[in-house]
Amino acid sequence: MPGHFEPAPGGGATVALDEVEISILRSLAVQLMELIGPGDEPAEDADPLAALFAEGPSEAPSDPALARLFPDAYAGPGAGEESERDEELRTASSDFRRFTELDLRSRKRADAHRVVQALDSLTPSGEDEAVLKLTVEDCRCWLGALNDLRLTIGTRLDVADDDETLYRLPDDDPRKPMVMAYLWLGVLQETLVETLMP
């Protein structure tokens, strides 16, 4: 998949995508929204001030991909016997999570939703590519969603920084499509960052 971002005149970025690329990106963004979950949106008649101070979960998610998207704010307990400092860090992480995770989940969902909306606005015809134009604000949302997608896929594939075995998988390996998507998302993310640099 050769798609990559280029700077747009006047700011923002553009990328040419064919139907397959649009379908893959859309599917991944929808799956990301499903993984993150619907969240606890306040009722329409809810007090906006109370909603602002709503508390979220205090425990880290059990799903490794969600734990990667919503990590503890402070280092967890060390190996061996638990020290008093470890307990302090766990309590601080729990408090931080309780007051920030709902907002973070909402932002991540909104970023992925913005990706889906942008892709839904495209209409490639046949073998032609459609050109997606992003504003600077759109670019910020796309960067967040691309990063979240790569973290999620990387966690599912158990990608390590120094592990290159995944990059040389045979074509019949069932992980190959996800590895290809992971690498392509990396190209999109890297070229989008480059377009935004002065």
Hey, where are the domains in the chain?
A: 6-52+103-196
- Is 39's pLDDT higher than 70? no
Q: Give the count of alpha carbons within 13 A of 194, CB side only.
A: 11
What is the layout of strands, in order, in the sheet containing 13-17?
6-7, 13-17, 130-134
Percentage, residues of the chain above pLDDT 90: 51
Output the CA torsion sign for 18, 4, 156, 119: negative
Q: What percent of the chain has pLDDT over 70?
A: 83
Q: What is the mean pLDDT of the chain?
A: 85
Neighbours of 193 (CB within 10 A): 15
What CA–CA distance (Å, rounded) separates 1 from 183? 10
Question: 26: closest CA among 172, 164, 130, 137?
Answer: 130
Cα–Cα dist 16/177, whole Å = 21
Instruction: Look up residue 42 and give its amino acid.
Output: P
Q: What is the pLDDT of residues 55-95, one digit of tens each?
A: 777 788 889 999 999 988 886 545 445 677 778 888 888 88
Token couple for 161: 């920084």
CA-based torsion, 16, 119, 22, 195: positive or negative: positive
Q: How far is CA 129 from CA 15, 32, 124, 189, in A?
A: 9, 25, 5, 19
H/E segment holding residue 104: helix 84-120
> What's the pTM value of the predicted model, to 2 decimals?
0.84
